[in-house]
Homo-oligomer: A and B are copies of this chain.
Amino acid sequence: MKLYEAYAEEIAQSIRAGVMKLGDRLPSVRQASASRGVSPSTVFEAYYLLEARGLIRARERSGYFVAAGAKSQLPEPGRGEQAPSEESGPVDVSALVFDILESAKARDVVPFGSAFPSPLLFPLQRLARSMASSVQSMDPWSSVDDISPGNASLRRQIALRYLADGMHVHTDDIVITNGALEGLNLCLHAVTRPGDAVIVESPAFYGALQALESHGLRAIEVPVHAREGIDLGALATALERHQPKACWLMTNFQNPVGSLMPDQNKQALVELLAAHGVPLIEDDVYGELYFGSRRPLPAKAWDKHGLVLHSSSFSKCLAPGYRVGWTVAGRYTRDVARLKMTRTLSASAPAQAALADYLAKGGYDKHLRQLRHALSAQQGAMLEAVIRHFPKGTRATRPDGGYFLWIELAPGVDALEVHRRALSLGISVAPGPMFSARRSFGNFIRLNYGHPWDARLDAAMATLGRLIAAA
């Protein structure tokens, strides 16, 4: 841990312990530098880190203050009404999910229900330059060569990023896919047969539920804790009881809950699944969007048996719409690469070349720092709006990354009804039942803070709060 990180952690602890309270002013950089005997830049880096984590907030020309999102003023959401590791049987959630997604697609709808961050947060012009230069100099034969497993330069760049996180992934182990979603679907296909049982989280990313549905699989739902991710005890029970053929989950900033599994849980997860010979399909699309000091490792980092199939993409952190993701599928690499060829042949060659160019020329890490900072600040703003506008008793997560809040409304409030009424007022939300094969979480909603905060969003939160209070 570097000096500024240690200093930031010290301040964070005094905030968490209540020594420093909401609105308290922090010492100026000059004061702190003098009193601590550290350089001003160390203080600044510590403050910057705390701001990125949403614990403090700068006010122009008056210094730094403890922010509203700093202390968990909002209680944590519960697990909804669910038994541990319940089997839901065949999944049938797609129609509900599509109806909701399609109803909220119009541009003028306030996008709290959206699955995407604002495209304005991405370096689209810089990517366009990479695209223009790489497509003009592209080898004509790349359309043949870049068929699965994909563009070699891009795979090397991805391998280098794994290496920077301390993971040794060989270029040949990486299969480029049409976004992480394709990779996840291919992995699921590679390790299951129709009728098999698959463990998913409760609540889960609806895309996982739709994948199970379209592959004819049964869902075993295991609860997710708001901070620590999947409940390992319930998972162990489910493994014994249901003989699942796979487990599909998100270890980093789970969608919709935002939980981040601690390292020891990730290790225990990998060992538990390996003991049962069950492959882990790990969806890690939000891993780069951390607010802490370093990228959280995926469970794949503890994989000794090639049983973890790790998928990620550039769609949520760099290049939305390019549809370029990848999978590191361990012992299933060849199966996944071949299945990819039979289904879509390859990802778009120009998009692969443009990303390889962008990653090689640098700028990605700087962009990511700005993006994380923006998301963290937007999280603080949305949490403040929840505190101000939503009824007492509202519970909310405060994730350490990603761009979703998972909100538990009072018992009896119907999230689907909230969704319908909000939409009639031009505001989308993602109602809880979208995230459950058994349509649980009837009084939960997921809110997206991936859009630059402004008065319009704040007003929409006020409207939403009134609507929920009346429900």
Contacts and interface: CB of A to CB of B under 8 A. Distances in A.
Interface of A: 94, 98, 101, 105, 107, 114, 116, 119-120, 122, 124-125, 127-129, 131-132, 135-136, 138, 140-146, 178-179, 181-182, 185, 189, 193-194, 207, 210-211, 213-214, 216, 320-324, 338-339, 341-351, 354
Contacts of A129: 136
B345 A323 contact: yes
Nearest to A182: B344
A351 B324 CA distance: 12
Contacts of A207: 342
Given A98-B338, A107-B145, A128 B124 contact: no
Contact of A350 (B107, B114, B179, B351): B351
Contacts of A136: 125, 128-129, 132
A339 B189 CA distance: 15
Residue from A120, A146, A338, A339 with most neighbouring chain B CB atoms (10 Å): A338
A351 B178 CA distance: 13
Nearest to A178: B344
Given A131-B131, A143-B320, A323-B349, A342 B94 contact: yes
B347 A348 contact: yes
B131 A116 contact: no
A343 B119 contact: no
B342 A211 contact: yes
A140 B116 contact: no
Contacts of A120: 140
Nearest to A354: B350
B141 A107 contact: yes
A160 to B, nearest CB: 23
B98 A341 contact: yes
Contacts of A135: 127-128, 131-132
A114 B147 CA distance: 13
Residue from A94, A194, A342, A347 with most neighbouring chain B CB atoms (10 Å): A342
Contacts of A143: 116, 119, 320-321
Residue from A132, A193, A350 with most neighbouring chain B CB atoms (10 Å): A350
B98 A343 contact: no
A339 B125 CA distance: 32
A144 B116 contact: yes
Given A128-B136, A194-B194, A338-B94, A322 B350 contact: yes
Contacts of A351: 348, 350-351
Residue from A122, A321, A339 with most neighbouring chain B CB atoms (10 Å): A321
16 contacts: A107-B141, A119-B140, A119-B143, A129-B136, A131-B350, A132-B135, A178-B323, A178-B348, A181-B345, A194-B194, A207-B342, A214-B339, A214-B342, A323-B344, A323-B349, A348-B350
A142 B124 CA distance: 12
A140 B118 CA distance: 9
A124 B138 contact: yes
Nearest to A183: B344
Contacts of A210: 342
Given A144-B320, A351-B351, 13 more contacts: A94-B342, A98-B338, A116-B144, A125-B136, A127-B135, A128-B135, A132-B132, A178-B323, A185-B342, A193-B216, A213-B342, A321-B349, A321-B350
Contacts of A138: 124, 128
Given A179-B345, A323-B347, A323-B349, A119 B141 contact: yes
A272 to B, nearest CB: 29
Contacts of A354: 350
What are the nearest 9 A-B pairs in CB distance? A143-B321, A321-B349, A348-B348, A132-B132, A143-B320, A119-B140, A178-B344, A210-B342, A128-B135
A140 B144 CA distance: 30
A182 B341 CA distance: 10
Contacts of A116: 143-144
A194 B214 contact: no
Contact of A344 (B140, B145, B189, B344): B344
Nearest to A322: B348
Contacts of A107: 141, 145
Nearest to A122: B140
A146 B343 CA distance: 21
A80 B144 CA distance: 31
